[in-house]
Structure 1
Amino acid sequence: MRVGLGQQIEQAQRLVMTPELRQAIAILQMNTLELSIFVEGELAQNPLLETLEVPSEGETETRESFDPALLRDPVPERAELADRSYDGGESRRRDDVEPSRFERETPALGPSLQEHLELQLRLAISDGLRRRVGEYIIGNIDEKGYLRITATEIAAAASVGEKIVREMIETIQSFDPPGVGAGDLAECLRIQLSQQGRLTPHLERILAEHLPDVAAGRLHRIAQRLKLTVGEVQAMVDRIRELDPKPGVGFGGERENRPLLPDVIIEKVDGDYVILVNDGALPRLTVNRTYRRILQEEGSAREAKQYVEDRLNSALSLIRAIEQRRLTLYKVVSVILEWQRPFFEQGLTALKPLTLRDVAQQAGVHESTVSRSVARKYAQTPRGLFELKFFFDHGVRTAVGQENPASGAIKPLIRQLVEAEDKRHPLSDQKIAEALCERGISLSRRTVAKYRDELGIPATTQRRRYN
């Protein structure tokens, strides 16, 4: 056997992950708010990148456009992009159309929980020391409204007496929302009942000793311990369940409580659906033409030319990536709209199974592209605001081999069955599965339990009524 060296020529295609490609992938995955923040950062860093001021009505555009020869891969004109349509609709910039129902109805972001409490503190307390202690306490209340530090720890950190700290904690616990500033769930519920004038000795004992039994629906055990009837315990448990276990949730200022900004808006106009990529929050970008002279002048220093060329390529790459994101997002949402049109016409029960692969094949892109396109993005539709991932569902089997319904269409049926059940003898998960099977839908008990949990429906023992 002879061993030797040799040369061989072969053709192969490989995807090279260039910085431009990495940036394009990252931008595709950003939602509108994230992209807006990113663009602001790029505007601050790149002197060649600037915003394009839109001329007012009747005013002509006098800005000299950048030399097209410098564009290695020109970005399509917006007028050309606007010609793309779905079912008679068109893709336009969000700032080219009238304000939507979403914009008219979305309330302004209100104060955060801390701001809300600090305002009440300033109105209630004039003493400087107590106000500072109160501000420290408020600063240690979490987004759910609970005080996550003890009075002893506050006294040590603020170098004040524990008596003053406890007085200020009680003062803050009297503020709105009811239950705020409590150290645990039992105290939170007790404060709310006390402010309502409905706190009784039996309720105090339930809160102090039997909250796990309340959560598990063990009303017979509570009745035996308190020497009450199950019906009496049921009435008190109903009163407890009317209270708010997270009084701080619902205020502005926290990231999870901020109004969601839709990335895509789907509107019905004259019987047709129009897709609007919501890029109105983004500045229109262009390249500063002043710097072109540095590239064209013979006497410019080589270092200066290299810097300008690098910044130019970076600016053009960003503009192309944003435009490509808009086109890709529009293309993906067009497929979703076409596939899920029955949902938009009829509602949740008409939601069809849809996978990333289905959309990728129809849109002519890779599955990973679809995944990035829908990540953390929302669509404002005539039926409300939905995360784009909501429209993807693998569905479940049917007993008769019909087209698989999506889980989103099954869940309303489960809710209907639970709402119609005899509350003294609520349906078990197995009974719900059997009822669905009678309707031609085959689900395991475990799947029913999963969907029930996702709907926020308690288990059988917690739904049972005794009065």
Structure 2
Amino acid sequence: MALSAKLQLRQSQSLVMTPQLMQSIKLLQFTHLELERFVEEEIERNPLLERVEPQEDAATDQLQKERDGDAAGEDWYEAALPASSQSMADQLDTTLENVFPDDPGAVQRVGPDLAAQWKSAPAGSSGGDGEGFDPDDIAASKPGLRDHVGEQIAFAFVDPAARLMAHELADCLDEAGYFRGEVEEIAERLGTCPPEVEEVLQKCRSFDPPGLFARDLKECLALQLQRNDRFDPAMRALVDNLELLARRDFQSLKRLCRVDQEDLLDMLAEIRALDPKPGLAFSTGTADTIVADVEVRAASDGSWTVELNPDTLPRVLVDQIYFAEVSRKAKAPGEREFLAECMQNANWLTRSLDQRAKTILKVASEIVRQQDAFLLNGIRHLRPLNLRTVAEAIGMHESTVSRVTSNKYMLTPRGVFELKFFFTASIPAAGGGDAHSSEAVRDRIREMIEQERADDVLSDDAIVDLLKNEGVDIARRTVAKYREGMNIASSVQRRREKRALVAVAR
């Protein structure tokens, strides 16, 4: 058969991932802090974007109406765009609707108007009246571990060489205060012998708080006990066998330490009073405050009001008037293309923020509808839920729901929860009936273990039987997995610990 070249015309459909579309997808999974940073960067790059401050909120709607009614409206802008830019904008709009389907009938609207919610400016911004001033912003920072150790080095060492070695050793401390360096490497780097560095290290171990410069937990506890003059042979044996203490093997500890039960309990009380990580007292890190993206409140008619938190949704406006003025003065083709691109990006950002807010509200409203029993009665009534159920209910794809629920939090009358908390695995019911949520079963297991007595500690098999009597069909290995996930010891270890606590109470 002879080979020949020929042309064929074929028609196909494909989804084009434009840069704007990829950025829109990223916007969904941004936290409010990441969203704030992104918006600030866009405002710096785009002269047509303008952030609305809190004091301007009262006149915002009127300002937007004036700008929409100006000659630089959307119709004028589309006419000024090149044909290629218009086609790109049309393609972008179509793609955005595919990613963020906006069906007004998909979710019952609750709470105030969405447009008024997401356009509110973030809290924390202060006006010229001085409100929002925080004295901590200008207060002296707390000294860190390196500063605290450096002050003691200055008084403990007179010899400059020893002081240099001490600072090198201090640089090897981790945040908990443990020494993570190698004496041989430090000695080689400083051109000295290891015994001299070891001598300086031993002197550094006398610094406050006790336990600094230890290599491991045993050494850290030993340094603190030596400072308290309580490191006798019995206590040394206990510190050398911390793994037995972790397993609650008190019989073996009594034999190794050569003490009776009463003395062993006193020794355990002293161990508990020690600080396993003395360096953390000088930690300068600050914990990030969780700000809820969605707020849920009980309505007067018995339903739930779901609203977006305006503090997590920045408000930006497109300056149509400025665009019209600059466009009339632009002569070069490059200038007009730049302005058209800025306008297109500005309109894309405002539409994307609006679609992001609507999508979050849709997903949150459906979660509240599905988990109404949890909000009313607590975690025992949490229902099994997966992404597909929510996606089918609101007419979106599972991947979109997954992105929305990532790093988003909901403020409810029962506390603040991550949106992913409401998605739990399903555990079948014994004898049929509605399935149980894995999180509710975990809470029931935790309650059973907290209520057990020293003479009646529940094994995993006993917990399985009790749960089956309550209508939960669960396997023993699942109970063990849930128990270990909650850092709860086995029945043997719990029995030893509870008996020891009962003996102390006597």
TM-score bracket relative to the smaller structure: 0.7 to 0.9
> Aligned-pair distance for 1:375?
1.0
Structure 1: how far apart are the matches of 2:370 and 2:399?
A: 19
1:318 corresponds to which of 322, 332, 349: 349
Q: 1:160-216 deviations in whole A, cap 9, x for unaligned? A: 973555544532xx24xx756543222333455567776654233222x21122222
> Aligned-pair distance for 1:126?
6.0
**Residue matched to 2:99:** none
**Cα gap change, 1:202 to 1:89, in 2 (>3 Å):** farther
**Residue matched to 1:68:** 74
Q: Does structure 1 residue 408 correspond to structure 2 residue 408?
A: no
Structure 1: how far apart are the matches of 2:298 and 2:122?
A: 14
| SS of equivalent residue, structure 2 residue 35 | helix
> Aligned-pair distance for 1:224?
2.1
Structure 2: how far apart are the matches of 1:359 and 1:310?
A: 37
**Residue matched to 2:23:** 23
**Residue matched to 2:454:** 423
| SS of equivalent residue, structure 1 residue 307 | helix
Give the TM-score of the pair, scaled to structure 1.
Answer: 0.79
**Cα gap change, 1:235 to 1:132, in 2 (>3 Å):** same
Q: Does structure 1 residue 383 correspond to structure 2 residue 414?
A: yes
- Contact conserved, 1:294 with 1:300, CA < 8 A, in 2? no
**Residue matched to 1:36:** 36
Structure 1: how far apart are the matches of 2:416 and 2:187?
A: 46
- Contact conserved, 2:244 with 2:252, CA < 8 A, in 1? yes
| Alignment-mate amino acid for residue 309 of structure 1 | A
Give the TM-score of the pair, scaled to structure 2.
Answer: 0.73
Structure 2: how far apart are the matches of 1:252 and 1:262?
A: 27
Q: Does structure 1 residue 362 correspond to structure 2 residue 399?
A: no
| SS of equivalent residue, structure 1 residue 170 | coil
Q: Does structure 1 residue 280 correspond to structure 2 residue 311?
A: yes
- Contact conserved, 1:94 with 1:280, CA < 8 A, in 2? no
**Residue matched to 1:148:** 180
Larger CA deviation: 153-162 vs 233-242:
153-162
| Alignment-mate amino acid for residue 335 of structure 2 | A
Give matches, 1:38-437, under 5 Å. Answer: 38-56=38-56, 65=67, 67-69=73-75, 70=77, 86=109, 91=114, 92-93=117-118, 115-117=143-145, 120=148, 140-150=172-182, 162=197, 163-164=199-200, 166-171=202-207, 174-175=208-209, 182-191=214-223, 201-207=233-239, 209-229=240-260, 232-233=263-264, 236-237=267-268, 239-241=270-272, 245-246=276-277, 254=285, 257-268=287-298, 270=300, 272-288=303-319, 289-297=321-329, 300-424=331-455, 426-437=457-468
| Alignment-mate amino acid for residue 19 of structure 1 | P
**Cα gap change, 1:331 to 1:447, in 2 (>3 Å):** same
| Alignment-mate amino acid for residue 148 of structure 1 | R
> Aligned-pair distance for 1:360?
0.5
| SS of equivalent residue, structure 1 residue 398 | coil
Structure 1: how far apart are the matches of 2:31 and 2:164?
A: 40
Q: 1:60-92 deviations in whole A, cap 9, x for unaligned? A: 8668636323376699xxxxx9xx965556652
**Cα gap change, 1:277 to 1:120, in 2 (>3 Å):** farther
| Alignment-mate amino acid for residue 261 of structure 1 | V
| Alignment-mate amino acid for residue 382 of structure 2 | L
Larger CA deviation: 242-251 vs 312-321:
242-251
Larger CA deviation: 216-225 vs 117-126:
117-126
| SS of equivalent residue, structure 2 residue 206 | helix
- Contact conserved, 1:151 with 1:166, CA < 8 A, in 2? no
Q: Does structure 1 residue 448 correspond to structure 2 residue 479?
A: yes
5+ residue gaps, structure 1: 76-80
| Alignment-mate amino acid for residue 47 of structure 1 | P
| Alignment-mate amino acid for residue 142 of structure 1 | D
In proportion to residue count, which structure has more helix? 2
Structure 2: how far apart are the matches of 1:7 and 1:360?
A: 40
- Contact conserved, 1:263 with 1:378, CA < 8 A, in 2? yes
- Contact conserved, 1:340 with 1:391, CA < 8 A, in 2? yes
Structure 1: how far apart are the matches of 2:366 and 2:140?
A: 39
- Contact conserved, 2:51 with 2:315, CA < 8 A, in 1? yes
**Matched positions, count:** 444
Q: 1:13-45 deviations in whole A, cap 9, x for unaligned? A: 432211111001011011112212222222333
**Cα gap change, 1:309 to 1:6, in 2 (>3 Å):** closer
Structure 2: how far apart are the matches of 1:115 and 1:261?
A: 28
- Contact conserved, 2:120 with 2:314, CA < 8 A, in 1? no
CA RMSD for the aligned pairs? 4.2
